[in-house]
């Protein structure tokens, strides 16, 4: 019988030492490598440059917490219900990371990458070229009845403060690449198609920045969840000192109102009832 093998370049332990990514964990990583740098290194199995680390950690900071979002509320409420299960409260919040909150980071990064991958020939080299590609992209999305990921915000209607700051940091570190260029162009041209000005939101610009760092598109939501884990720990820490979850629960409990049943009626299938 062939002995099974399970290769990994990540953590490994022996009687005397622990290695991680080919380095001695105790001597070469602990106290030397920051957590953001390590997260990047674990995902790519290459150590990031200082500039890459700065952009990556700026993304993590941008996504860590954004107030009483559904992810934060459900974390606090789950802790109220099961204070013996910190992991359950954190998991509840992370499970809410989807197409409306946090998941936009992955959706936007993938969307921009798909557009760039379909470009026939060289990518644009100036704003006029990027604007033309962005106009074509937004027009196609509008014609198909689809939203442009990363466009619009329910609170920051006049502009998301995270977006220009991340553009600035990426520029300073030499990591303002094609994904950010296309995203910025979408911000400039979309009013021509949509007839109104919408902000480029922070989750979207984070997706563009992570894609420009060359991180796996399949993991972009994972990085958003990594950032939000820190924020949810902060939400729980504040809940311990200044609890609000019970007030939220009591408010819903006291102000719910009975109504008559509203039976569900499925929509008819196309062509149902037609004679054949």
| Domain 50-249 in this protein, CATH class | mainly alpha
What does pLDDT average to over the chain?
A: 93
Q: pLDDT by residue (tens digit) across 70-90? A: 999 999 999 999 999 999 999
Phi-psi region of 102 (alpha: psi -120 to 50; beta: other; left: phi over 0): left
3-state secondary structure of 65: coil
- What pTM value is reported for the model? 0.89
Burial class (CB within 10 angstroms; exposed 0-12, middle 13-18, buried 19+) of 185: buried
Beta bridge partners of 12: 19
Q: pLDDT by residue (tens digit) across 226-250? A: 999 999 999 999 999 999 999 999 9
Delimit the domains of the chain by residue range: 18-47, 50-249
Q: pLDDT by residue (tens digit) across 142-163? A: 999 999 999 988 777 788 899 9
């Amino acid at each position: 019988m062939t002995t099974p093998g399970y290769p990994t370049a990540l953590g490994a332990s022996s009687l005397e030492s622990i290695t991680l990514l080919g380095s001695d964990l105790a001597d070469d990583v602990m106290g030397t490598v920051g957590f953001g740098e390590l997260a990047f290194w674990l995902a790519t199995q290459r150590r990031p440059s200082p500039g890459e680390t700065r952009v990556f950690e700026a993304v993590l900071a941008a996504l860590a917490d954004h107030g009483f979002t559904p992810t934060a509320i459900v974390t606090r409420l789950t802790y109220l219900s099961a204070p013996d299960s910190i992991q359950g409260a954190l998991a509840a919040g992370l499970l809410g990371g989807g197409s409306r909150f946090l998941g936009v980071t992955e959706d936007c990064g993938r969307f921009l990458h798909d557009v760039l991958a379909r470009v026939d020939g060289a990518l644009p080299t100036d704003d006029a070229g990027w604007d033309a590609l962005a106009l074509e992209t937004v027009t196609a999305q509008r014609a198909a009845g689809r939203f442009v990921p990363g466009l619009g915000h329910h609170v920051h209607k006049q502009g998301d403060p995270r977006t220009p700051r991340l553009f600035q940091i990426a520029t300073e570190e030499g990591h303002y690449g094609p994904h950010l260029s296309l995203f910025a162009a979408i911000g400039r041209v979309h009013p021509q198609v949509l007839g109104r000005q919408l902000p480029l939101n922070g989750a979207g610009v984070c997706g563009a920045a992570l894609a420009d760092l060359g991180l796996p598109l399949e993991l972009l939501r994972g990085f958003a969840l990594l950032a939000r884990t820190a924020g949810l720990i902060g939400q729980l820490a504040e809940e311990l000192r200044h609890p609000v979850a019970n007030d939220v629960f009591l408010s819903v409990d006291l102000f719910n109102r009975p109504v008559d049943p509203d039976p569900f009626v499925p929509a008819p299938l196309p062509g149902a009832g037609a004679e054949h």
